[in-house]
Amino acid sequence: MKFHILTLFPEMVMNGLGTSITGRAMASGAISVDAIDIRDYSKDKHRHVDDAPYGGGAGMVMQPGPVCDAYEDLCNRTGKKPRVIYMTPQGRVFNQSIAEELAQEEELVFLCGHYEGIDERALELIVTDYLSVGDFVLTGGELPAMVMIDCISRLVPGVLNNEVSAEVESFHDNLLEYPQYTRPEVFRGKEVPEVLLSGHHKNIEEWRRKESIKRTLERRPDLLPGASLTLKEHRYLDSLKGGEDGLLELEEILDGYAAEAERLFCKRDGICGQEDRAAVQEDRAAVQEDQAAVQEDRQSAWEDRKVSGLTGPLPGLGEPAPRIKRRAMSEVKKLLALDGCTLNDVKSYYKVCKARLKLIQKDY
């Protein structure tokens, strides 16, 4: 992967990135870093690239000409027009998800401002992304660019010796990394957790996962809504919270969906009262023995949904509410086992399912 940095201080970024992991990656050819001095494109004999702002105000503003010329020269040399990322506190706050997205690019350009910033016209002409490292102001964009390049580089194949490392450290699945231990086993009275010495890989993995969830709850609870957790892990998280939130709200949503689904089919079949419900249950038991009738019933339900233009399957239709809820919970387990599917996604899904049922009811 190739990184190009448009800067007034090329030595600063090259010295910083030329050490440790990024330095070794540059030496091996896994990544390349090219620092382009914007001053080289100044038309001024003193290599000035800034001037006073129109309208008055403190400080100086970088001129658009040298910035655009530096970028266009890069494009001419490479034959490409890479994404240009401008370092600014006005941009989106950089995070691991953005790093993973940018790591898919073959080349990236980082534009580092200085003084009071860069003339807006240059930004409008060449910048594709505005990114920040946080809600604070630095002297220039060089340090943020170095931070982002370091982070992105770790996701490039061949940069890390252990390819698994980048996948399991902090912010993987929107969770913080679990605690790490090494020798000695006992240090100043503090012991390494026994499970890590057991050699039982499944138990170790489960312990690490729980510790990640616990640490995220303690230190960065804001990350948890986007975390990919299984149903079992959500129960563990709820136990850490003392039974708050999470699955309790999901239970309420599923209860509402199940009741709405049962109401719909009672309305369709003219069912009212407990006796009618019992009779319908007997009929359904008999229908299960007749495959042709079952197929006809399924086709009927399908037609019901087509009336409202809603042809996607809805869990447990045509059954009593408790059974619908059990079927829905079974589906929840499968959904949460999918990569990237969160509890909030599941809640939203069943809220939409309930709304779809209300639309279907209008046809009866």
Residue 347 has pLDDT above 60, yes or no: yes
With cut-offs at 50, 70 and 90, classify the pLDDT of residue 263: confident
Q: d(Cα 274, Cα 253) in Å, to the nearest integer?
A: 24
Average pLDDT, stretch 228-255? 86
Q: d(Cα 231, Cα 64) in Å, to the nearest integer?
A: 54
User: Residue 34 in contact with residue 3, Cβ under 8 Å?
Assistant: yes
Chain CA centroid to CA 60, Å: 38
15-70 residue pLDDT tens: 999 999 999 999 999 999 999 999 999 999 999 999 999 999 989 999 999 999 99
Lowest mean pLDDT among 108-117, 194-203, 263-272, 294-303: 294-303
With cut-offs at 50, 70 and 90, classify the pLDDT of residue 307: very low
List Cβ<8 Å contacts ≥24 apart for 230-234.
230/333, 230/336, 230/337, 231/332, 231/333, 231/336, 233/209, 234/336, 234/343
- Going from the C-alpha of 164 to that of each of 151, 156, 188, the distances in angstroms are 15, 12, 32
159-186 residue pLDDT tens: 997 655 655 566 778 899 999 999 999 9
Q: Which residue type, as a one-letter code, is found at position 63?
A: Q
> 331: burial class by Cβ within 10 Å (0-12, 13-18, 19+)?
middle
Average pLDDT in the chain = 86
User: Residue 3 in contact with residue 110, Cβ under 8 Å?
Assistant: yes
The pLDDT score that the predictor gives to residue 275 is 53
Nearest 5°: phi and psi at 62? -70, 135
Percent of the chain at pLDDT > 90 equals 61
Lowest mean pLDDT among 44-53, 205-214, 310-319: 310-319
Q: d(Cα 241, Cα 228) in Å, to the nearest integer?
A: 18
User: Residue 140 in contact with residue 112, Cβ under 8 Å?
Assistant: yes
Q: d(Cα 36, Cα 82) in Å, to the nearest integer?
A: 15
Q: d(Cα 50, Cα 48) in Å, to the nearest integer?
A: 6
With cut-offs at 50, 70 and 90, classify the pLDDT of residue 278: low
Give the pair of three-digit tokens for residue 237. Answer: 């998280």
Residue 86 has pLDDT above 70, yes or no: yes
Q: d(Cα 216, Cα 78) in Å, to the nearest integer?
A: 43
103-124 residue pLDDT tens: 999 999 999 999 899 999 999 9
Average pLDDT, stretch 213-239? 93
Residue 272 has pLDDT above 70, yes or no: no
Q: Tell which residue, 363, 261, 265, 227, has the closest CA to residue 307.
A: 363
Q: How many residues does the chain have?
A: 364
Nearest 5°: phi and psi at 340? 85, -5
- Going from the C-alpha of 114 to that of each of 24, 58, 287, the distances in angstroms are 29, 13, 76
User: For residue 20, what are the contacts with CB-CB under 8 A and spacing of at least 6?
Assistant: none
With cut-offs at 50, 70 and 90, classify the pLDDT of residue 243: low
119-154 residue pLDDT tens: 999 999 999 999 999 999 999 999 999 999 999 999
User: Residue 18 in contact with residue 12, Cβ under 8 Å?
Assistant: no
pTM attached to this predicted model? 0.74
Q: Tell which residue, 153, 170, 168, has the closest CA to residue 99.
A: 153
Which secondary structure element, helix H or strand E, spans residue 254, and what is its range? helix 247-269
Give the pair of three-digit tokens for residue 201. Answer: 């890989």
Q: SS3 string of 300-342?
A: HHHHHHHHCCCCCCCCCCCCCHHHHHHHHHHHHHHHHCCCCCC
The pLDDT score that the predictor gives to residue 168 is 56
